[in-house]
Amino acid sequence: MTQHLLLGQTLSFTGDPIVSDWRDVTHHDSAGAVLVADGRIAATGPATALRRDYPQAKIHDYGNALITAGFVDAHMHYPQTAMIASWGKRLIDWLNTYTFPEEMQFGDRAYADEIAARTLDLALAHGTTTLTSFCTIHPESVDAFFSAAQARDMAVVAGKTCMDRNAPDGLRDSAQSAYDDSKALLGRWHGKGRATYAITPRFTPTSTPDQLHALGALWREYPDCLMQTHLSEQVDEIAWVRDLHPQARDYLDTYESAGLLGERGLYGHAIHLEPREIDRIAEVGGAVVHCPTSNTFIGSGLFDMAGLKARGISIGLATDTGGGSSFSMLRTMAAAYEIAQLRGVPLHPAQLMWLASEGSARALHMGGKIGSLSQGAAADICVIDLASTPAIAQRTGVANDIWEALFPTIMMGDDRAIAEVWVKGKVR
């Protein structure tokens, strides 16, 4: 078994730097090393010590580059890759104009294979080693995504998107077919290799109560699966849900009454939450996913990071491709910083990096398995060039510490900043 020793600056965490003082749980070593063996992190520590203890390891010297965990994107739509950055409309118009016509094509397995491969390769080029994706109503779209990830040894989460109303004819299933297709796909993929299945109603406006209840029943049968959906993204969406479900206490209640509220639930966006909704998500231990570039691009609103973290709610970070306007988790961190500034609670670079890795991993119930440089975690690693462009380099050149050196890359970096990516202990 070949051991690999990666040398450079290292960044790791032993806790949540948003809940705890970031200085206490963030660990930077300007001359650090990461030992990789058998696809996992075997050790992390000072370069001098690890070079001494593992003299037979193959050396990969990254100089002054920063070695971090690979980024974890906790919410995106791989079928929207080809129509990312389509001219902005509000959510419902945007879905009807761009998203639904594109998703109609994913019954064609060859097209689904092409876009799945493109999406995963773009993600890897930007340092993202795990994606959590909505697919389309077509089982072929799910098979294509999991197959492409399997070929790249990537840990991914995905599921068939279920819709039986308020969508074009070619994008509607039924309560029964949503249950049947999801169950078959779950049996084919969940827990196979690095694949995790997520039961996936798109959102309440496109699923009848019968379909939501059918998917809730499926989740009760397979409680170790994740469940992903959208919640309270825009105010006009919430008004639409209120019209469709006048008996519901709030938007979340449409999921809760169907058995779709739980600890392993992932609720995308969650911008305009009612007090009761916050209470219930906190009580059950569900996670919400912050999608900042999407929220600004589609004009959804300002996510309350500080308020939700204060309630103990787990939060992931995500690109929300293609409502989100970038494949880059660096750009996503920059947008999260900007939204937090508008909220009056700026995020430190350490907190942003944690959200994009370990924070998202925890939301996916994969903490310590991915998104981490801790011993035993999968060796999904991102090596970041802190001087990737002239503009970034001139700022980094006068930095007083690692945070002043890293922050320009968070704010201005793109795929050029990604010097190398490792997936399951192999260079991609």
Q: What is the pLDDT of residues 181-236, one digit of tens each?
A: 999 999 999 999 999 999 999 999 999 999 999 999 999 999 999 999 999 999 99
Q: How far apart are CA 363 and CA 301, in angstroms?
A: 22
Return the CATH number of the domain spanning residue range 71-363.
3.20.20.140
C-alpha torsion 330→334→336→340, nearest 10: 150
Contact call for residues 425 and 37 (beta carbons, < 8 A): yes
Structure tokens at 114: 């092409």
CATH 3.20.20.140 domain residues, the chain: 71-363
Using pLDDT thresholds of 50, 70 and 90, give the confidence band for residue 88.
low
pLDDT in tens, 380-392: 999 999 999 999 9
Percent of the chain with pLDDT over 70: 99
Percent of the chain with pLDDT over 90: 93
C-alpha angle 226-375-417 in degrees, rounded to nearest 5: 80
Query: Mean pLDDT over residues 47-59, rounded?
Result: 98
Structure tokens at 271: 């911008």
What's the 3-state SS for the chain? CCEEEEEEEEEEECCCCCCCCHHHHEEEEEEEEEEEECCEEEEEEEHHHHHHHCCCCEEEEEEEEEEEECEEEEEEEHHHHHHCCCCCCCHHHHHHHHHHHHHHHHHCHHHHHHHHHHHHHHHHHCCEEEEEEECCCCHHHHHHHHHHHHHCCCEEEEECEECCCCCCHHHCCCHHHHHHHHHHHHHHHCCCCCEEEEEEECCHHHCCHHHHHHHHHHHHHCCCCEEEEEECCCHHHHHHHHHHCCCCCCHHHHHHCCCCCCCCEEEEECCCCCHHHHHHHHHHCCEEEECHHHHHHCCCCCCCHHHHHHCCCEEEECCCECCECCCCHHHHHHHHHHHHHHHCCCCCHHHHHHHHHHHHHHHCCCECCECCCCCCCECCEEEECCCCCHHHHHHHCCCCCHHHHHHHHHHHCCHHHEEEEEECCEEC
Query: Mean pLDDT over residues 141-165, rounded?
Result: 98
pLDDT at position 222, please? 98
pLDDT in tens, 258-277: 999 999 999 999 999 999 99
Using pLDDT thresholds of 50, 70 and 90, give the confidence band for residue 307.
very high
pLDDT at 300 over 80: yes
Whole-model pTM?
0.97
pLDDT at position 200, please? 98
CA nearest 296: which of 77, 71, 88?
Answer: 88
pLDDT in tens, 233-256: 999 999 999 999 999 999 999 999
Query: Phi then psi for 20, rounded to 5 degrees?
Result: -95, 170
Which residues in 278-295 are b (16+ Cβ under 10 Å) and which e?
bebbeeeebbbbbbbbbb
Query: Mean pLDDT over residues 16-41, rounded?
Result: 98
pLDDT in tens, 106-143: 999 999 999 999 999 999 999 999 999 999 999 999 99
Query: Mean pLDDT over residues 79-88, rounded?
Result: 84
Contact call for residues 94 and 393 (beta carbons, < 8 A): no
Does CATH number 2.30.40.10 belong to domain 3-70+372-427?
Answer: yes
**How far is the CA of 135 from the CAs of 139, 223, 316, 354, 404, in angstroms?**
9, 20, 19, 27, 39
Mean per-residue pLDDT over the chain, rounded? 96
C-alpha angle 182-184-185 in degrees, rounded to nearest 5: 65
CATH 2.30.40.10 domain residues, the chain: 3-70+372-427
Q: How far apart are CA 327 and CA 329, in angstroms?
A: 7
Q: How far apart are CA 69 and CA 383, in angstroms?
A: 8
Structure tokens at 398: 């006068």
Burial bucket for residue 118 (CB in 10 Å: 0-12, 13-18, 19+): middle
pLDDT at position 258, please? 98
Contact call for residues 86 and 322 (beta carbons, < 8 A): yes
Structure tokens at 298: 């589609």
Which residues in 46-55 are b (16+ Cβ under 10 Å) and which e?
ebeebeeebe
pLDDT at 90 over 80: no
